[in-house]
A and B are shown apart, each in its own frame.
Chain A
């Protein structure tokens, strides 16, 4: 179904946080508010995150997951996160 497609689609290089998933994304990825990075943690483990500029994501190295930033808004729900041991979308790898 469409929901299924959306999840897999993100793995296949759907964009570096440019909001293409929501269909209304701007051309360039918007970074998050720098002051936010002081407070933000992974909602699951409550552990610190690393901002990855290349993919415009917030990465939890320990759990190996990345939260996207869409239209400048960090998407801090587990449903939105992707696994980082797969190749990041910017490198355009194929995932089944």
Chain B
């Protein structure tokens, strides 16, 4: 198709350089595929699981993923006015938690303010409350960016259903090629998404680019369990139980087989830490949750 060929022209030069650097063979779980095939397969996995994504997360992790995400939010400890970019944010779990968190911080701020206004008239207190009520998030904002249309659709519907609207926006974009300007965000998160990115180094560089100086990058992801006994149990659970759950709940064994394999192929804690440092982040650190089943990596842009 002629329009396809024309369309690839402006991007062609950039793409060709990158593809040469990437090399032909990549992994999709335990299979070996080309870069292009991997992107396509991963897109299809999430297209297929999108509607059952949340249910599957609860079943597979016995609800513990909620705690992991809560811990991530507490680690972030955002104050009102924070601008957050949630990459691979699909169904909105991190975004909603962010909004809840800054709302409650904001509420406490307002209550403290009111307590100090003891000598004001009720009218003045009422007016001051009204003024601040329209700013219940304190100008905090979260942008959810995901490459998968189906995941974003589910996220947007959830937001409507749960009543989230203010301070929240949705963008279809690629973590490796973010459609955001430099030095814009206070925090950039990627929760259970970086494992599915084909060029992790590019995603990290992009995260660095869009962060303001002083900004923080937080990555929540499955990682490696070093304890041998626990590791054995974890393997058993992963390979025997999870794909079966996938088939029973989502009718999709293969996607969950991919999930489990992708976790095994993903770099361990120290390696990911080095990758963050390569991307330019400072004060890179990680925290293991549940003995390394999950880890939160953190880095700052100076």
Contacts and interface: CB of A to CB of B under 8 A. Distances in A.
Contact of A39 (B1, B174, B177, B181): B181
B153 interface: yes
B7 A33 contact: no
Nearest to A96: B2
B233 interface: no
A13 interface: no
A29 to B, nearest CB: 15
Interface centre among A22, A33, A63 (most CB of B within 10 A): A33
A19 B230 CA distance: 48
B229 to A, nearest CB: 44
* Chain B interface, >50% SS class: mixed
A72 B170 contact: yes
A28 interface: no
By size class, the interface of chain A is 35 or more
Interface centre among A4, A73, A78, A96 (most CB of B within 10 A): A73
B3 A73 contact: no
Nearest to A75: B172
Interface in B122-168: 141, 143, 147, 149, 152-153, 156
A73 B179 contact: no
B169 interface: yes
Contacts, number: 88
B195 to A, nearest CB: 20
A83 B7 contact: yes
B280 to A, nearest CB: 17
Contact of B11 (A22, A44, A82): A44
Contacts of B14: 44
- Interface size bucket, B side? 20 to 34
B208 to A, nearest CB: 14
A76 B172 contact: yes
Interface in A5-60: 7-8, 11, 22, 32-33, 35-36, 38-44, 46, 48
B57 interface: no
B180 interface: yes
A11 B2 CA distance: 11
Nearest to B210: A39
B147 A40 contact: no
Interface in B1-30: 1-4, 6-7, 10-11, 14
B7 A73 contact: no
Interface string A59-90: 00001010100111111111111110010000
A73 B1 contact: no
A2 B1 CA distance: 12
A39 B184 contact: yes
Nearest to A48: B181
A44 B156 contact: no
B178 A43 contact: yes
Given A7-B1, A73-B170, A43 B6 contact: no
Nearest to A10: B3
B143 A39 contact: yes
Contact of B4 (A7, A46, A76): A7
Given A36-B169, A83-B6, A42 B179 contact: yes
Contacts of A11: 3
Contact of B174 (A40, A42, A43, A46): A43
A8 B5 CA distance: 11
By Cβ-Cβ distance, the 6 closest A-B pairs, closest first, are A76-B179, A33-B169, A43-B179, A76-B173, A43-B177, A36-B169
Given A7-B1, A33-B169, A95-B3, 10 more contacts: A4-B1, A39-B180, A41-B180, A42-B179, A43-B174, A65-B7, A70-B172, A74-B171, A78-B7, A96-B2
